[in-house]
Structure formats: C-alpha cells, structure tokens
Amino acid sequence: MNFPPASEPETNHGLPLVRPQIVPPLDPAFRPAALANRAFLAAVRASGAPQPLRLALEQADGSVFHHTTEIFAEGQPGAAGNFTYIERLVKFLLWSRGGWRIYLDGSAPLAAQLQNYFRETATGKFDSHIIGEKIYDRPIVVSSTRELPPPRAATQPLGRHLDGCRIGFDLGGSDRKVAAVIDGRVVFSEETVWDPYFHPDPQYHFDGIMDSLQKAAAHLPRVDAIGGSAAGCYVNNRVKVASLFRGVAPELFEQRVKNLFFEVQRAMGGVPLEVVNDGEVTALAGSMALGQNAVLGLAMGTSLAAGYVTRDGGITSWLNELAFTPVDFRADAPRDEWSGDAGVGAQYFSQQAVGRLLVPAGIEVDAKLPLPEKLKLVQALMAQDDERARKIYQTIGVFLGYAIAHYADFYDFDHVLILGRVTSGQGGDVIIAGAKEVLRAEFAELAKRIAFHVPDEKDKRHGQAVAAASLPRVK
C-alpha cells in the first residue's frame, strides 16, 4: 500500500489519502475510498489505543442495520481525520442500506458534529431531505447512545417464486416492458414506447401501466401475482423518489403517485403485487441465470444503478443507490450535479463519467452535445481502435476495480454482474480487464474470489421479466 511521501501530505480534512498503485490514465488525482479507509484503520490499530465505534441505521418500518468500526482516541495525532472518515462511512451506509435515524456509540462529540452536518451543510441537507424526508418520511436524526437497538430486518427477501400464472413488468424512461409467465415460462412479452418523464398527470402513468398489464393478462388463464421493476426508490410498494414521475407536481405526487401501485393492485383484483427498484431485479435476474447467489449488479447508463442478491438468494429492503456513494475521497473530486457531493459513483460509472473524460482524452466535441451522443461517439472511436477512446475505458476500469474493493467492505458477494450502455461493445471488455488488473495488484484475496459476468441479450430481455414476475409470494 503506497502512502504519500511526508513532503507531500495529502489529506481530506485530516483524513490521509493514498495514491493507487494502478493510476487511472486520464484521472491521476484519483484517490480511492478503499485505500484511504484501509490506511486509516491500519493507522488506528497501530496507535495502540483504537476506540471502538458502533453504528446502527433505523428505517421507518423498524428495520435496523449495524456496522462497527474503529477511530483514533481523542488526543491522538490521527484524530483530526475521525470526522471525515465517519462522515464518508455514514454517507455510504445511508445510500446503500437506507435509514432516517443514526445511532452512534463511541463518541458523543462525533455524533453532535454529524448531526450538524445533516442540518447545516448543503450535501448533508440534501441527504436528509431525499433519504430522510422523501424516502422515510422524516429528517435524519443522529443519536449518541450506549445502547443500540438490536439488528432487525422487518421485510422478507423477495423473488424466485415461479409457481402459477404471473405478470412481470419493467418501467423505463423510454419504454415499458411486460411479460406473462406460467410456472417460470414466458408465454407473452411486449415492449411499448412511452414518455413518462415530464407528463404532469399521473393518469397517463396509470393508464400506461394498466394497458400493459391487461395485455399480458389476456394470455393467462388467471393472474395469481404481479411483480414489477422501475427506476427509483420504492418502500413497501410506495413510490418515494422516482424519475418516472418527475413531471408531476409535489402535491399531486403525494395525492396520487405515492400509492399508485396500490391503485393498480386494486384494479387487477387485489392479487399479490410487489414493485422494487430495477437494479434489484436486474441482479436477481442475473443470479437466477447464473445459478449463483451473492451477486452485486452494476448498471452503467444514464447514472449508476445497483442491485444486490444475498448469499441466501434474496433481495433486501436496502436502497443500494450506489450512484450517490463516495468512491474517490479527494476533496476536489468531480461533483454530482444533483446532490452536490464530491467523488460519488455517478461521476465514475455512467455517461457522465465518459463525458467528463473527453477533454483529458483529447477528444474534441461540442460541449452542448447530449451525453448519450457523446457516448456513441466514444463507442464509434473505440470500434476503430482509437487510443483516446481506449484510455477512457481503461480509466473507468481502474475506477471500477477500486470501487469493487470498496463495495466488498459493505456487501458480501462473489459475483459482479456488469451491464449498461457504457459497458456495451469493446469498451466493456476493456473496463472489466482494468478492474481485474486492479484487484490482482492491490486486493489479491478479492481477485481470487470475485468473478465478473456480462448477461447476453436473451438473459437481459426475458430474465428481467421472469425475475420481476417472481417477486411476490402467492399465499
């Protein structure tokens, strides 16, 4: 592990940063979260007086998730980095696990500082508003305590129920897909073009969903269950934050959209219905196709979407919104245009990443060109074996290798499912090769354990529908 020379100290508000052994060709200032965290914990333990710190995140339904770590004792030279380390850690836990109340045992001053962060800083207030208020109906609260609530998962894992006559659907930004499934076999599927993003009337969305469901139902002797996936955050089938409804006014969102899928369920006769984030269903579909569990799915497209299948083969109530989790700890890392935070996944694994790497790659393009068109240009150059385009994919591959090591500190997985428009074509092979090189060089144990997978078109098309249809359990 390479520490910066003493003559060139690199820190982020007291947290030492580490230069990677494998440097991204187009982003040499990249300072991986995985290396910084490992170096911090190694220094804490070497101090001879590590201070245990326990965290618990509570969700609105009573689910509680624990995480333990260590920090420098007060007065130790490295204690200046304690807050940055904890703040970045909590940021990851919030966007990966979810929760509105944070219990902290081990440092009352840090708990107070963290509460101030969520109340007074722009990025903290964003997290409190979106995760706390929008998703869990209350602002984020940090409680200093010696007694953490016991861990508890209030929801059962979903998926893999293939019995009976089922409908699976997926709601995307440009089309909606639906399939009729009998005992795991697709008997009908259809894609319908629609444009949900800026429609102000939720009736448009309701009518579109019902149109697809009714077409699928016409190919079944009966409907036993309905499962669906869509971009956004869904908690107990309630729409919390979703780009599909961005055109709906806030008041109308509360009145109609929040419980839209309960309205759909009633219209379909009250059969069991489950709706979850599309990243979760993608990971579940990959797990079912591979015949393997412990799968982390990463889709690099407009943003970064993620899903996780546990070692037991289920999906969880976690958020898994890795687009907002930090992977680069340098203070001046690229900032996310929505959250305002620096170094988060969307800037490293999406069309946004490709767009920001064009200039350092030496590829001249009209700045006003939409990101999808910039990606198409890079893909065309890559097909011509253009070295500038190759460096973009090599850079993303290095990012990915260090990010996977970071994700492995929070998720238990053996398989990584890679998909999304950024990974299509020859560039995807370069990205995966770069990630594998990083794991071999810096994280040998992970390199031995983790396998990469890319789904084929049939798996993506039919697998997603079957996985979505399998979400509800038929009583």
Res 2 pLDDT > 90? no
Could you tell me the CA-to-CA distances from 304 to 32, 217, 297, 403, 408 in Å, in that order? 17, 33, 10, 12, 17
- Cβ-contact 278, 233 below 8 angstroms: no
Question: How much is the pLDDT for 256?
Answer: 96
**H or E element at residue 358:** helix 351-361
Of the ranges 239-253, 278-292, 447-461, which one carries the lowest mean pLDDT score?
447-461
- Cβ-contact 34, 409 below 8 angstroms: yes
**Contacting residues for 306 by C-beta, under 8 A, at least 6 apart:** 279, 283, 296, 297, 298, 299, 320, 321, 322, 323
d(CA 19, CA 39): 11
d(CA 367, CA 359): 10
Q: What is the DSSP string of 10-49?
A: -EETTEE----SS--TT-TT--BHHHHHHHHHHHHHHTT-
Question: How much is the pLDDT for 1?
Answer: 39
Question: How much is the pLDDT for 456?
Answer: 80
Length of the chain measured in residues: 475
- Cβ-contact 403, 327 below 8 angstroms: yes
Amino acid at 5: P
Q: What DSSP character marks residue 315?
A: B
At 7, is the pLDDT very low, low, confident or very high (cuts 50, 70, 90)? very low
Determine if residue 118 is left, alpha or beta; phi over 0 gives left, psi from -120 to 50 gives alpha, anything else beta.
alpha
| Residues 130-157 as b or e (16 or more Cβ within 10 Å = b) | bbbeebbeebbbbebeeebeeeebeeee
Res 8 pLDDT > 60? no
On the 0-12 / 13-18 / 19+ scale of CB atoms within 10 A, 333 is buried
Res 180 pLDDT > 70? yes
Token output for 418: 């890679």
At 460, is the pLDDT very low, low, confident or very high (cuts 50, 70, 90)? low
Question: How much is the pLDDT for 455?
Answer: 87
Question: How much is the pLDDT for 158?
Answer: 81
> What domains lie within the chain, and their CATH numbers?
165-281 (3.30.420.40)
Of the ranges 35-39, 66-70, 223-227, 315-319, which one carries the lowest mean pLDDT score?
315-319
- Cβ-contact 172, 209 below 8 angstroms: no
Tens digits of per-residue pLDDT, 321-368?
A: 999 999 999 999 999 988 999 999 999 999 999 999 999 999 999 989
